Each structure stands twice: as C-alpha cells, then as structure tokens.
Amino acid sequence: MAKQMERKSARLLALLLALIMIGSVFAYMLRGGSAEQREVVYRLDDFREYVNWTPADAVYIQYYNLSYTSKLGKDDPIAKMVTSDLNKLLIPAIFSRQVLEVTGGISQVMIADFGEAVPLYFVDARMSKIYFAEEDEIQHGNFTLKLRKPGIALVGELSPLVVGYKPIVEKAVDTVEGKYPSFGNRSYSYLSRINGSFAYAFFAYGDVVKQWIKIGNESPADFFFEGYRYNFNNSSYEKVWAMHFEGNYFFGGMNESEKNFEYYKVHNFGDGLSIAIMEDKDFTRVVNARPNILTWQISFNTTENEG
C-alpha cells in the first residue's frame, strides 16, 4: 500500500511540475529592460523571411507575435487565442526557465511542423543573451549546436535562435548554409506580398494544401495563408486570406447580402496569387468570414455559314 501511494504521489508531482513549467513559459516572454547581448552571425527581422531558413519539407507553419498581442491586453480575443495555442505548442522540455533562459524576453515565435514529436522553433529573442541547460556541444557546418536530452538541439548564433529536434535543427543549419532547399523557395514570393503585421498566422504550400482545399474534385491552389490582426485605426479585427491558384480561380467581390461582416477587400495578382481582407468589430464574425472564390468561364460562340 505504501509503495502504491509513493507511485501515485510521484505521478502527481510529475504532473504538477509539468503544469508549473508550462505556466512559466509566459513569465519570461516579454521581459523588458536592458539585457546582455549575444554574438550573432546572421539575423532576420520578419517572420516572412524565416521561411528562407526553414527546410522545404515542413508540413505547415504557425506564427505568433507576442509583442503585438501585448498591445491588445490579455483579455482581447486574439491575445487569448495566441496564449492558449502557445501553451499547447511550447513544450516544457525546451520552454521552461530551468532549460532556456532569455534575458531580454521573447517577442515572436514561428513553429514549423515536420510531423515529429518536437517541431522546429524560430524564437525571436532579439540580440539578448540566452542560457541553455546544455549537456553537450557539436559542430554542424559553421555553427555550434548545443545539445540536451532527449534529442534537443539549439543554435544561438542565429537570430531568431533555432531550437527543436536535433535532426531537423541540423537540416535547418544546412538550409541556412544553402545546402538544403528552403520552404521559402516556393512560398516567400507570396508571403512578401502579404503586407502588414500579424498577431497570428498559419500557412502551408504544396501537396498538403492540395489535399486540404478542394472545389469539387479539383485542387485549385498550392499555397494557403490565414492571418489575424487588429486594425487600431478602425478598432476592428481583420482576417487575411491569401491563396495561390493554379487554375482559373480568384477571389471575387461580394454584395452586402452575401457577407456577414463589415469590410471586404480583394487583390488579385497576375501570377494567380489572391489576397482577401475581411474586417469586423466582432471577432467571432471575423473568425467565420470567408472570401468568395470564383472561376473564369470562357466560352466560344461559333456561327455557321448559311448557303
């Protein structure tokens, strides 16, 4: 009986520690004040550029801007969405203060999913000094990988710093050095035309988009983007969709009877990229908003010569 109680107590303690570690993630996210700086070899500032360091075989990518949500307040629905998602996605094996300490706080996180238990994280700690509870170091290419069980690697010489499952981090270093194709090879030209800042964004390209998005039996697009932000001028929420259509599809207009949100604007590019902005003061309406997808229909009239 005593041994059973000990095992039960140990399980409860492990669960409690895990919860404490998850809760501590946000304790040091946006720390202010001056901080020690680290040496960085390469630096990127915009999440759209992060895809150029992301290996091409990522399934999909999610982006979270904590600096942006801090302006909205913790009770804002976008801020709540970001906090809730990150609590699930930032694993305690990396994102606890016992493992990773960022002296200046974290402002942005981009997460690339490869179908592994541990994804690839791009963490914007600016130039702040970081402390990682490493157990070993190895050299991969021109970079030092700090290692920790179970199979975690971190590269602090890049900004954003790169951390995740060791084989994927190694592949990311190969991508930075031009030895492996990047996710940006096919997506950056689309992302670079989606203007403005975002609190949250989700995007993917390639076969996975063709599997997700169907019109009848057709797969009309090979790139998909969804982003959320707040329009401070209008005090309203915006959702942005972008798709690269391969066929004769595009985002079309809507009349007032068709849409259940306030504002709608589309921009169609000549190469098949379409961008739609949907806006409303009610966040739920924005979440449920969808653009109007139309197709070109070309018909040929023929006339017969009468004798």
CA angle 238, 242, 243 (to 5 degrees): 155
The token pair at 247 is 């066929």
Q: What is the CA radius of gyration of the chain?
A: 23
Domain that holds residue 268: 206-295
259 within a domain of the structure (yes/no): yes
CA–CA dist 39, 143 (Å, integer)? 12
Q: Which residue has the tokens 């492990």?
A: 14
Could you report the per-residue pLDDT of 74-115, keeping only the tens digit for each? 899 999 999 999 999 999 999 988 899 988 889 999 999 999
Look at residue 256 in the predicted model and tell me its pLDDT: 82
Look at residue 22 in the predicted model and tell me its pLDDT: 41
| Tally of structural domains, the chain | 1
107 within a domain of the structure (yes/no): no
Q: How many CB atoms lie within 10 A of CB 132?
A: 19
Q: How many CB atoms lie within 10 A of CB 89?
A: 16
140 within a domain of the structure (yes/no): no
Look at residue 259 in the predicted model and tell me its pLDDT: 86
The fraction of the chain above a pLDDT of 70, given in percent, is 85
The token pair at 225 is 């983007």
CA–CA dist 172, 118 (Å, integer)? 14
| 165 neighbors 55 (Cβ within 8 angstroms) | no
Residue 94 phi, psi (nearest 5): -115, -50
Q: Which residue has the tokens 């932000």?
A: 229
Could you report the per-residue pLDDT of 162-177, keeping only the tens digit for each? 999 999 999 999 999 9
214 within a domain of the structure (yes/no): yes
CA–CA dist 96, 163 (Å, integer)? 13
CA–CA dist 162, 121 (Å, integer)? 6
258 within a domain of the structure (yes/no): yes
Q: Where are the alpha helices (DSSP H) in the chain?
A: 2-24, 47-50, 66-72, 77-89, 166-176, 184-191, 207-212, 283-288
Q: What is the pTM (predicted TM-score) of this model?
A: 0.86
10 within a domain of the structure (yes/no): no
88 within a domain of the structure (yes/no): no
Spans of the chain below 50 pLDDT: 1-24, 27, 303-307
Look at residue 297 in the predicted model and tell me its pLDDT: 59
245 within a domain of the structure (yes/no): yes
Look at residue 36 in the predicted model and tell me its pLDDT: 78
